[in-house]
Structure 1
Amino acid sequence: MTTLKDLYIEELQDLWSANEQMSQVVSKMADRASDSKLSDRLTRAKDGIDQHVSLLQSLLRDSGAEVQKEHCKGMEGLVKEAHKHALDSDMSDAALDVAIIAQYQRLCHYGIAGFGTAKAFADALGESDAVGKLDQALDKIYESDDFMTDLAERSRNLDAKG
């Protein structure tokens, strides 16, 4: 890598891998969640994550890059943590839901950092169409993260106390 465009392309390729890994673990979280609002939101989030994969592939094509993914070790670690602290735990009901929310938000924050970085690179490269698309993806990620914060604060954290 020698240019900003190289960094941009690598970021898109890394995000593709990260989103595929995230999609798989979010699907498992949706299946384990006991709260129907949480399960439904995670299912919708998985669909959005899958749409982000398509977006990233499209942005790679649009940039003239090779349409391939770069394995994301950062997301690999977060997925392992999600398994350890939620999916493979002995918790159930509200306590498990709280753990799922916490792990999902960690995954979201990684996505916010990655999509935000890609957007900044696209902006610096004058790729206004890509900036708009990445901004829309970021809005969806922020929206999902905000929903999880609200759900945790208003119900699941309180339910888990008892």
Structure 2
Amino acid sequence: MSAPDSLKEVYLDELKDLWSANDQMTKAIRTLSPKIHDKKLKELFDGATGGIETHTATIKGLIEASGGEVEPEHCKGMEGLVREALKHGTKEAPEDEELLDLVLIAQFQRMSHYGVTGFGTAAAYASALGLKDDAKQLKAIVADIYRGDEVSSKQGERLARLAAKHEAADA
């Protein structure tokens, strides 16, 4: 692919990157989810894939409506985050169930934060291009990811307190 020469092309490239990022994150979550021990965290992971797939459908629609080629462009940024998530969640995973769950939620949040920045950037481009409906849809996705991040943070804090309590009891 050649370098973009307009804001619209930069916008479409961002959407294609996000599509690839979402596909990669979904696969990673599906790989890591069976390793989770905490019921609430498992529900969070399992529910996240549906949300990500909905976001991806929105991306495809926005690309198509803008006249872009409807296909993802491989996202190397998410590739690195996924590689790290899988490393920490499988190859270098803690044996302790609570610690593993903490590691998995941290990796999930790192991947989610990539989405926050990408969708936020795409929304800014859409606004600048006068694509008000696109911007509205993208901002809704950012808000959705933020809500998920808030739930993730609360789960992480809860699991960290449990792990600390168990460590104190074992000491």
Q: What code does the residue aligned with 1:100 have?
A: L
Does the CA-based 8 Å contact 2:17-2:75 persist in structure 1?
yes
The superposition leaves residues 28-61 of structure 1 with CA deviations (integer Å, 9 ceiling, x where unpaired) of: 2221110000000111111101111111110000
Q: Which residue of 2 aligns with 1:113?
A: 117
> How many residue pairs were aligned?
161
Give a deviation string over 1:56-111, Cα, whole Å, max 9, x none.
11000011111011000000000000011123334241100100010001001100
Does residue 1:54 correspond to 2:57, yes or no? yes
Aligned to 1:15: 18
**Aligned residue number for residue 147 of structure 2:** 143
AA of the residue aligned to 1:158: R
* DSSP-derived class of the 1:75 partner: helix
Aligned twin of 2:136: 132
Give the secondary-structure state (helix, strand or coil) at the position aligned to 1:142. Answer: helix
Output the TM-score relative to the length of structure 1.
Answer: 0.96
Structure 1: stretches of 5+ with no match in the other structure: none
Question: Partners in 1 of 2:93 and 2:78 — Cα distance?
Answer: 23
Find the counterpart in structure 2 of residue 6 from structure 1. 9
Equivalent pairs: percent with the same residue?
41
Runs of 4+ in 1 over 3 A off after TM superposition: none
Q: 2:33 aligns with which of 17, 30, 38?
A: 30
- The reply on whether 1:84 has 2:87 as its aligned counterpart is yes
Equivalent in the alignment of 1:152: 156
Q: 2:5 is paired with a residue of what secondary structure?
A: coil
Q: Secondary structure at the match of 2:123?
A: helix
Partners in 2 of 1:86 and 1:47 — Cα distance?
Answer: 21
Amino acid at match of 1:143: R
Between 1:87-96 and 1:45-54, the stretch displaced more is 87-96
Aligned-CA RMSD value: 1.0
TM-score of the two chains, using structure 2 as the length reference: 0.91
- Partner in structure 1 of residue 106 of structure 2: 102
Q: Which amino acid aligns with 2:35?
A: R
Decide which structure has the larger Cα Rg and report it: 2
Letter matched to residue 97 of structure 2:
D
Residue 17 of structure 1, CA deviation:
0.3
Deviations 1:129-162 (A, max 9, x none): 1111111111111011111111111x21122232
